[in-house]
């Protein structure tokens, strides 16, 4: 199998992790996986580990609840607080860099070879601007979700349109993602079109996240968050701006203590 870095433009540390994963987890039957499929398997494994950790947290909370029922005066378990520095907010740096350009070109090539429509989205750059992409999310195959019928009846369109703006520090820093149209209620969409999603901040972002993985996760978040298209709110679509999305990002980081931007120690290592 060719090096994942040669195919996806990933940084050395993630290539090492992926190759270690290949040697220790994947079987001989999996040897024919493409680098893109390997990344998906790595992300799937990461999600499994996260779910296990989440289950362990729920179990400890359940135990604490039972303890309280027996003795209402017993102290609640203490949970570790995020460090104060997590509240520091550094706005994304926009511009061009060699690494970002090379990574985006490779991502674009991969997406052209994929049938992303079956995964519920289409992504492509805006005209000749490689650093700004339009993403259209489809929901016509989602059973039990009202957003598909809302789109057809209220918004008179087939998709929710997103705008991705990639910073100069990409892939070490996440893109700024906003809903462009229509006006979406709930689904973790904020009133200026930004998204309340840790994946899109420095706390949850990893350079291994490919564009298709991000699109799929945003789509899933809208579905699980019961996103709706409210006809009474469509007049507020003018609030959906790039500047507004940056304000939403700042608000999300401050509220949840999620970092945003690229850590200074990592930024020093980037080449421009």
> From CA 235, how far away is CA 239, in angstroms rounded?
9
* Order of all β-strands in the sheet with 176-181: 121-126, 129-138, 159-165, 176-181
Secondary structure letter of residue 17 according to DSSP:
H
Closest Cα partner for 140 from 118, 156, 161?
118
User: Are 89 and 250 spatial neighbours (Cβ–Cβ below 8 Å)?
Assistant: yes
The rounded radius of gyration (Å) of the Cα atoms in the chain is: 20
Which positions are annotated as active-site residues? Answer: 196
The torsion region of residue 193 among left (phi > 0), alpha (psi -120 to 50) and beta comes to left
Residues in the chain: 272
Task: Specify the pairing of strand 121-126 against strand 129-138.
Answer: antiparallel
Helical spans, DSSP H, in the chain: 4-8, 12-24, 35-70, 98-112, 147-150, 211-224, 242-256, 264-267
């Amino acid at each position: 199998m060719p090096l994942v870095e040669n195919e996806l433009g990933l940084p050395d540390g993630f290539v090492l992790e992926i190759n270690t994963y290949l040697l220790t987890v994947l079987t001989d039957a999996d040897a024919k996986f493409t680098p893109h499929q390997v990344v998906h398997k790595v992300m799937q494994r990461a999600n499994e580990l996260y779910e296990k950790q989440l289950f362990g947290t729920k179990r400890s909370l359940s135990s604490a609840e039972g303890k309280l029922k027996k003795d209402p005066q017993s102290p609640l378990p203490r949970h570790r607080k995020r460090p104060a520095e997590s509240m520091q907010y550094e706005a994304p740096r926009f511009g061009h860099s060699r690494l970002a350009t090379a990574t985006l070109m490779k991502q674009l090539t991969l997406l052209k070879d994929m049938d992303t429509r079956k995964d519920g989205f289409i992504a492509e750059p805006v005209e000749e601007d490689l650093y700004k992409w339009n993403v259209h999310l489809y929901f016509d195959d989602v059973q039990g979700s009202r957003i598909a019928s809302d789109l057809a009846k209220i918004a008179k369109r087939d998709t929710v349109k997103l705008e991705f703006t990639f910073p100069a520090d990409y892939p070490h820093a996440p893109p700024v993602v906003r809903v462009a149209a229509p006006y979406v209620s709930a689904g973790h969409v904020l009133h200026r079109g930004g998204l309340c999603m840790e994946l899109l901040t420095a706390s949850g972002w990893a350079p291994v996240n490919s564009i298709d993985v991000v699109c799929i996760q945003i789509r899933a978040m809208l579905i699980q968050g019961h996103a709706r298209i409210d006809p009474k709110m469509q007049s507020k679509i003018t609030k959906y701006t790039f500047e507004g999305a940056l304000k939403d990002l700042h608000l999300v980081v401050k509220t949840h203590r999620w970092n945003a931007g690229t850590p200074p120690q990592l930024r020093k290592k980037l080449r421009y």
